[in-house]
Amino acid sequence: MERTVLDLREVSISFGGLKALHDVNLDVRQGDILGLIGPNGAGKTTLFNVINGFLQAEKGEIILDGEKIRGLKPFDICRRGIGRTFQLVKTFNNMTALENVVVGALLHTDNVGDARRRAEETLKLVGLIDKKDITAENLTLMERKRIELARALSTKPKLLLLDELLTGLNPSEMDDALQLIRDIRDRGATICMVEHVMRAVMSVCNRIVVLNFGKKIAEGSPKKVANDKKVIEAYLGEEVIAGSKEY
């Protein structure tokens, strides 16, 4: 029986009169790489912000590994086991790659030396160990995304939220990133990723949830979702879905 890591029930939030999320029900199971897709403005990043604590859901429950986390502050939510990367990369630009990851690693230790060791291991995992002493602002976008990933990983999260990790990467960087995501999953992590790049989502996710106008409109395996009429309609005019027909 798979353990449910994250359970969202009837999660809703509105801005002004606009309902950004409408009774969203979703669950993420242990070992999933769950893809969260939908047209622009569907509410994907909003959902992440709600899970993360940056926004407060007006209705519904958010349960992480059995614990209710709705209403908690972001730092509390992180301590309970959610790690996150951002659409616009938010590395600590005046700190080195290693220092960035150390900040994450310090969640579980008060000893800076231990944190550094852990950070180095995580940097090795993401393939950035030789750049560990370079200041983040001097690194490429792909490298900074790796830093963000390593940083979030070093907090030993139960659930890793990746917000458009692949945006802005060229095809070979994207393949590297996808392999990295698989490696992380193989090491025991559970991942939920918001993505626009369809071929990536189709190739690496084992389950997909589709949002549109703040509501869940489809859910299931990549193949099932790609052939779902509602999903195709939602993306009508967007060419991305065409590429996914290969799957």
Partner 1 sequence: MMFKLIQSIIRENIFQVVTVIILLILPLIVNQTYIHHVLTICWIYAIAAIGWNVCYGYAGLLSFGHTAFFGIGAYLTVMLIRAIGLTPWVGIFLASILTAAFGMGIAWVTARTRGVYFTLCTQAIPPVFFVIFTWRVGWWGEFAGGSYGLTVPYRGHDPIFMQFNYPLPYYYIAFGFLILSIWIVIRLIKSKFGYYLRAIGEEQDAASSLGINILRTRILGMGISTLITGISGAVYVNFLHIIDPYEAFGFTLNLQFILAGMLGGVGTIIGPVFGALLLVPFSEFVKLFLEQRFGYGLIGAHFVLYGIVLMFVTALMPRGLYPKVKETLIKKGLIRRR
Contacts with partner 1, residue ranges (CB under 8 A)? 52-54, 73-75, 78-79, 83-84, 86, 90-95, 99, 102-104, 106-107, 110-112, 115, 133, 148, 151-152, 155
Q: Which is nearer to partner 1, 95 or 217 (CB)?
A: 95
Q: Which helix (H) or strand (E) holds 209?
A: strand 207-212
Position of tokens 């614990």?
67
Q: How far is the CB of 83 from partner 1 (least distance, A)?
A: 7
Q: How far is the CB of 50 from partner 1 (least distance, A)?
A: 13
Reference 87, options 175, 161, 178, 187; nearest CA is 161
159/25 Cα distance (integer angstroms)? 17
**Strand 82-84 and strand 159-163: pairing?**
parallel
50/241 Cα distance (integer angstroms)? 27
Q: How far is the CB of 103 from partner 1 (least distance, A)?
A: 5
232/168 Cα distance (integer angstroms)? 24
Q: Which is nearer to partner 1, 84 or 131 (CB)?
A: 84
Q: How far is the CB of 164 from partner 1 (least distance, A)?
A: 15
Classify residue 135 by its DSSP letter: B
Q: Which is nearer to partner 1, 28 or 218 (CB)?
A: 28
Q: Which is nearer to partner 1, 106 or 125 (CB)?
A: 106
Q: Which is nearer to partner 1, 76 or 233 (CB)?
A: 76
Strand partners, 6: 28, 64
Residue 187 backbone phi and psi in degrees, to 5 = -85, 5
Burial code (b: 16+ CB inside 10 Å, e: under 16) for 163-190 equals bbbbbebeeebbeebbebbeebbeeebb
Q: How far is the CB of 221 from partner 1 (least distance, A)?
A: 30
Q: Which is nearer to partner 1, 71 or 171 (CB)?
A: 71
Q: How far is the CB of 122 from partner 1 (least distance, A)?
A: 13
